[in-house]
Amino acid sequence: MDTTLQRFSDQIAEASASGASLRIRGGGSKDWYGQDLHGALLDTTAYRGIIEYEPTELVITARCGTPLAEIEEHLTPHGQMLAFEPPHFGAGATLGGMVSAGLSGPRRQAAGSVRDFVLGAALMNGRGELLRFGGKVMKNVAGYDVSRLLTGSLGMFGLIAEVSLKVLPKPVAELSLRLEMHQDEALRRLNEWGGQPLPISASAWVDGTLAVRLSGARSAVDAARARLGGEVIDEADACWRSLREQDNAFFAEARQHQNGLWRLSLPSSAAPLALPGRQLIEWGGAQRWLLTDADAATIRAAASQAGGHATLFRGGARDAGVFHPLAPAVCTIHKQLKDAFDPAGVFNRGRMYREF
């Protein structure tokens, strides 16, 4: 076993034996996400580096502490990208943190989520054992797909040591458009366009303005531009990057307020929600950000009625929990998985749900 991995294993075994807890941390760019942090620090940044990258196979494998910026720089000369546009939220963002948080950016609307691109992973469990799941090709899964289960688990099952990801070529052409319309009209249009062969790779509505990004072959982008109308957005890359990194005007206001910033995951066709506050809508209507002083019960009831769920993303009162409560059967499955991978409860206690 690698020296660094052995050190991790020893630290985990010691914590398990003593009943202590460990807080897994890479660059710390998402320390604010989830419930409060507990436990001694298990710093993953020393275990870094790209293990394997084969551009013709569209697969990259790297260690958990590898900076996301390093991976993206490695892909760029080959005209490839992490198609789900993961947010960094800081210069120190790492591959392990990206998978653990499971957050995707604007292109998730067209390309899919982080989970869709995870091919395999190595996990160090609560006994300090290194387990490998999945592989380096798309159709290799037999049985329970543990590597994708780890995505968005906030480290509750163990230390994600290595990850293999599918990458995609960058689009040949891109163009972004701005259209003025009310929220209900924007949702109607986005769902209508979503059922048509249009190369829409991202969308965002806020304050009466809908932005749409077109990506693909030049002919397809030009044809869609003529069909959709609107004004071309200058410096569009910077606009979408500020949305991905949540440093645009809407999210800047959210950080300044005491109110909670909620992330609502809904069917894209859901009608506008009758909730107080300000909204930003992404992913064709499927992701809705809500800055509000409404209480958790009211917000979650509205999300559930619309067929979705609600997460308290930043700020606000966390007494009711950050993540949407689990159904009893799903909670039981979570507990069983936690017991299987981390029987002593070493990793990230309470980071996702207080009972884990």
- Region 331-353 average pLDDT: 94
What are 109-165's pLDDT values in tens digits?
Answer: 999 999 999 999 999 999 999 999 987 654 444 456 788 899 999 999 999 999 999
pLDDT at residue 136 in the model: 65
pLDDT at residue 137 in the model: 52
Mean pLDDT score across all residues of the chain: 94
How many Å apart are CA 292 and CA 313, to the nearest integer?
A: 12
Tell me the three-class secondary structure of the chain, residue by residue: CCHHHHHHHHHHHHHHHHCCCEEEECCCCCCCCCCCCCCEEEECCCCCCEEEEEHHHCEEEEECCCEHHHHHHHHHHHCEECCCCCCCCCCCCEHHHHHHHCCCCCCHHHHCCHHHHEEEEEEECCCCCEEEEECCCCCCCCCCCHHHHCCCCCCCCCEEEEEEEECEECCCEEEEEEEECCHHHHHHHHHHHHCCCCCEEEEEEECCEEEEEEEECHHHHHHHHHHHCCEECCCHHHHHHHHHCCCCHHHHHHHHCCCEEEEEECCCCCCCCCCCCEEEEEHHHCEEEEEECCCHHHHHHHHHHCCCEEEEEECCCCCCCCCCCCCHHHHHHHHHHHHHHCCCCCECCCCCCCCC
- Region 11-39 average pLDDT: 95
pLDDT at residue 294 in the model: 94
pLDDT at residue 259 in the model: 84
Under the banding of pLDDT at 50, 70 and 90, the label for residue 254 is: confident
The first and second tokens of residue 1, run together, are 């076993």
- Region 259-286 average pLDDT: 96
Q: Model's pTM, two decimal places?
A: 0.94
- Region 308-330 average pLDDT: 92
pLDDT at residue 356 in the model: 86
What are 157-204's pLDDT values in tens digits?
Answer: 999 999 999 999 999 999 999 999 999 999 999 999 999 999 999 999
Query: What are the structural domain ranges in the chain?
Result: 3-169+333-341, 173-244, 249-314
Looking at the predicted structure, is the pLDDT value of residue 289 above 90?
Answer: yes
pLDDT at residue 74 in the model: 97
Between 206 and 317, residue with greater pLDDT: 206
- Region 59-85 average pLDDT: 98
- Region 37-55 average pLDDT: 96
Looking at the predicted structure, is the pLDDT value of residue 44 above 70?
Answer: yes
CATH class of 3-169+333-341: alpha beta
CATH 3.30.70, applies to 173-244: yes
pLDDT at residue 148 in the model: 87
